[in-house]
Amino acid sequence: MSSTEPAEQRRTALDALHRSLGATMTDFAGWDMPLRYGSERDEHNAVRTKAGLFDLSHMGEITVTGPDAAALLNHALVGDIASVGVGRARYTMICRADGGILDDLIVYRLAETEYMVVANASNAQVVLDALTGRAAGFDAEVRDDRDAYALLAIQGPASPGILASLTDADLDGLKYYAGLPGTVAGVSALIARTGYTGEDGFELFVAPADAEKLWQALTDAGHEAGLVPCGLSCRDTLRLEAGMPLYGHELTTELTPFDAGLGRVVKFAKEGDFVGREALTEAAARAEQNPPRVLVGLIAEGRRVPRAGYPVVAGGAVIGEVTSGAPSPTLGKPIAMAYVDAAHAAPGTAGVGVDIRGSHEPYEVVALPFYKRQK
């Protein structure tokens, strides 16, 4: 293949099904993924009020097994993974030695000496390489399981009822950030109560060969409850409203977890040394004394939509930068997340705007998230 030819697009096990549903497809991290099936606003609102069904098979699963699996993950990641109970999951990060964020992850403890690390599609290879490199000296195996799983997510207030009609697994007893093996519509699955929408919901890890059968069963079971297929476009507006960071936007190798306001994921008290400890100790001290910039929410007073990279301004000076922006279907106004100078980060700070192609549009500074579901 010549260097000018694009790399082969990867397709999920549900690719033909998405096309049969008329999905608009897009390239996402080298995968051909559904962007939307119809109206992204309708898909977004379905997840907020009823339920939505997503194909997330582009996410990267990496299995870590062996007597030293917990010790390896404690060394390689910033969280205390050894303290995660079997059947539970934890949000964490993997950092470089200089503290920069390589990726944010969810780690599931499947058994005493078996973990599944789920990485973002765009970083799966980077995470796999880092874990493999950091495994030296540990009695543990790092296995690339990206082709072993398809991942479906059902999200929204109606999702527990829909899923309950297809499984005898104890969904009521399944806490947020927990996972259990079970059978859904006759398909073996890891059922996890996790998601990226701000709503209650589940992520189902299954064999790729079973993905279409499961998608169809969920679609049929959810029909009366108003479940609709959902693409990546509404997943982005849902996570933005919920104030959830997206790698490459709110999280980058230029930022430490403390810069991103997520210092809580770094566990200095855990046993053993971990990659980035020294740099992160310094970053924690800096963040306490004099945070450079703070991640805030911005709500538009007008109708113009801010986009990633747009400057945030106050008093004629640039005071920050938009990391994510979109129209918010729930709020009915454009919203954004942005890193701004600490002096302008307090909710209600007056005189803040976004430079949208030379015009300074007024914005209200608010605390994140923009949206929190009623429990």
**Known binding-site positions:** 203
Helix axes 124-134, 69-76, angle to 10 degrees: 120
Residues 37 and 146: their CA atoms lie apart, in Å, by 25
What are the start-end ranges of the H helices in 109-209?
A: 124-134, 159-164
Identify the DSSP state of 122: G
Cα dihedral: 179, 70, 112, 205 (round 10): 30
DSSP character string of 199-263: S-EEEEEE-GGGHHHHHHHHHHHHTTTT-EE--HHHHHHHHHHTT---BTTTB-TTS-TTTTT-G
Residues 352 and 316: their CA atoms lie apart, in Å, by 10
Tokens 């945070």 belong to which residue?
291
β-pairing, 201-206 vs 228-229, is unpaired
Nearest to 70 by CA among 34, 38, 111, 33: 111
Identify the DSSP state of 45: H
Nearest to 126 by CA among 282, 250, 247: 247
Binding site listing for substrate: 203
Identity at 333, one-letter amino acid code:
K
Contacts of 273 (CB under 8 A, 6+ apart): 75
Residues 159 and 222: their CA atoms lie apart, in Å, by 8
Contacts of 62 (CB under 8 A, 6+ apart): 116, 117, 118, 119, 124, 127, 128, 131, 142, 143, 144, 145, 146
Residues linked to residue 237 through DSSP beta bridges, in sequence order: none
- Rg over alpha carbons for the chain, rounded to the nearest Å, is 21
